[in-house]
């Protein structure tokens, strides 16, 4: 039997194979690491985007809820605090009675997009009545009236613009607590009457003051 002695300069086949494959192994490891890092970065970005979208949605729902309370005659919106998280409405503050508390909860639940309500409103008639007598209550009513007037004006104006037989761009519309005033110039008496009828049939209109002037020019 031949006995071969390995000298210090000799390399075994296994060692040679390992040495040749090492760069490929390291390259594959680096590729896997980079791929995993990219995947984690995408997941983090997606999670941040989802949280941002959810926060924006909640803020939008909170605005809708506050508006709903603002336009309700029974409730004092300045005494009610609202917050929406994950489409759940949280109500806190004070109301005059259990009926008002239940009403606030029903209004919140009726807002499209809100899935449930945590109604933590407390009963404090004296505080709510005091708030009603404060300047903030008068400011709320003033703001509400302004919004309602602007909304009615926009409705009437839109109807006039949509009708081919009225000069919507030439007709001025002003609204005040349901009273609509039309002014400007129209081409005929028929157009004047039509504009008045359109304004009168618009939702929210109580009376119409038709001050349109018939002019051929």
**Domains and their CATH numbers in the chain:** 55-133 (3.30.1340.30), 144-214 (3.30.1340)
- The low-confidence residues of the chain, meaning pLDDT below 50, are 1-3, 5-9, 16
Whether 82 contacts 76, CB under 8 Å: no
- Name the β-bridge partners of 185: 213
Contacts of 126 (CB under 8 A, 6+ apart): none
Quote the pLDDT of residue 190: 92
- Backbone dihedral angles phi then psi of residue 61, each to the nearest 5 degrees: -65, -35
Q: Does residue 85 contact residue 62 with C-beta atoms inside 8 Å? A: no
pLDDT of residue 137: 59
pLDDT at 177: 87
State the pLDDT at residue 170: 86
Question: What confidence score (pLDDT) does residue 151 get?
Answer: 82
Write down the pLDDT at residue 206: 93
User: How many whole angstroms separate alpha carbon 33 and alpha carbon 27?
Assistant: 10
d(CA 23, CA 29): 10
Residue 173 CB neighbours (<10 A): 22
Strand pairing category for 80-85 and 116-119? unpaired
Phi, psi of 11 (to 5 degrees): -120, 130
- Look up tokens 């009513």; give the residue: 141
Q: What is the pLDDT of residues 112-166, one digit of tens each?
A: 999 999 999 998 877 666 665 555 556 666 777 777 888 888 889 888 988 888 8
């Amino acid at each position: 039997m031949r006995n071969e002695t390995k000298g210090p300069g000799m390399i075994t086949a296994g060692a040679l194979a390992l040495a040749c494959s090492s760069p490929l192994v390291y390259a594959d490891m680096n590729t896997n690491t980079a791929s995993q890092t990219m995947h984690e970065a995408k997941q983090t970005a997606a999670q941040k985007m989802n949280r941002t979208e959810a926060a924006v949605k909640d803020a939008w729902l909170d605005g809708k809820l506050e508006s709903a309370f603002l336009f309700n005659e029974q409730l004092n919106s300045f005494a009610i605090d609202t917050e929406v998280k994950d489409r759940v409405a949280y109500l806190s503050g004070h109301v005059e009675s259990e009926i008002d508390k239940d009403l606030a909860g029903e209004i919140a639940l009726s807002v499209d997009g809100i899935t449930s309500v945590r109604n933590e409103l407390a009963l404090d008639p004296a505080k709510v009545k005091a708030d009603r007598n404060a300047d903030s209550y008068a400011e709320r009513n003033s703001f509400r009236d302004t919004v309602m007037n602007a909304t009615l004006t926009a409705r009437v104006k839109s109807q006039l613009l949509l009708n081919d037989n009225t000069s919507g761009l030439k007709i001025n519309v002003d609204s005040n607590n349901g009273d609509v005033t039309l002014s400007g110039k129209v081409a005929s008496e028929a157009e004047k009457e039509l504009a008045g009828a359109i304004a009168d049939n618009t939702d929210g209109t109580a009376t119409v003051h038709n001050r349109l002037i018939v002019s051929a020019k």
